[in-house]
Amino acid sequence: FIGVPFPSLLGIFAYLISKYNLASHQPEELVKQKNDLYREFAPDRLCLFPGFTELLSFLYPAYQIALTTSSWSSSQQSVFEKFKLDSFFETIVTREMVTYGKPHPEPYLLTLERLGIAPQEAIVIEDSINGISAAKSAGITTIAVTHSYPREKLNQADYIVDSLHEVK
């Protein structure tokens, strides 16, 4: 995916309509249905990773905290609303704010720019292979958490932990 423009949700649905001959559907209609389903089902199923609240309390307000996510802003906002997280994050970079998504470094480079810091002044906590790749390509030290992938898949990170409790 490096070097390939990040597809929009409309583009993804247009591709699926074409590939699977779903001419009776429109991309805009499918995006709306997807967003409606997310708003209906996700809030009751959302939960924070164990140790997240404690880590956030430890870091805030001593450090600038940012979120660099591959999620759409609507999904990010749902999570922030449910868990009252808005006041903790100085900046947020979501999928639609960049041309190239993770594993390309653009999302993290934009985050650094918004924070006004150099890569060597930042630490990224990631749980995805693409996220670690993006952060490393941006020149940022990374801590991988084994929430989504086993330790051996996250070996590009500078540090690997099994829980957010270990990050402090």
Contact partners, residue 3, CB within 8 Å, separation at least 6: 100, 104
Q: What pTM did the predictor assign?
A: 0.81
Tokens 């490393």 -> residue:
136
Per the CB < 8 A criterion, the answer to whether 142 and 126 are in contact is yes
Tens digit of pLDDT at every position of the chain (168 positions) = 344 455 577 888 888 899 999 989 998 899 888 878 877 887 788 899 999 999 999 999 999 999 999 988 888 998 899 999 999 999 999 999 999 999 999 999 999 999 999 999 999 999 999 999 999 999 999 999 999 999 999 999 999 999 999 998
d(CA 32, CA 59): 37
Burial of 9 (0-12, 13-18, 19+ CB in 10 A): middle
Number of helices and strands (H, E) in the chain?
6, 5
CA dihedral 97, 121, 128, 41 (to 10 degrees): -50
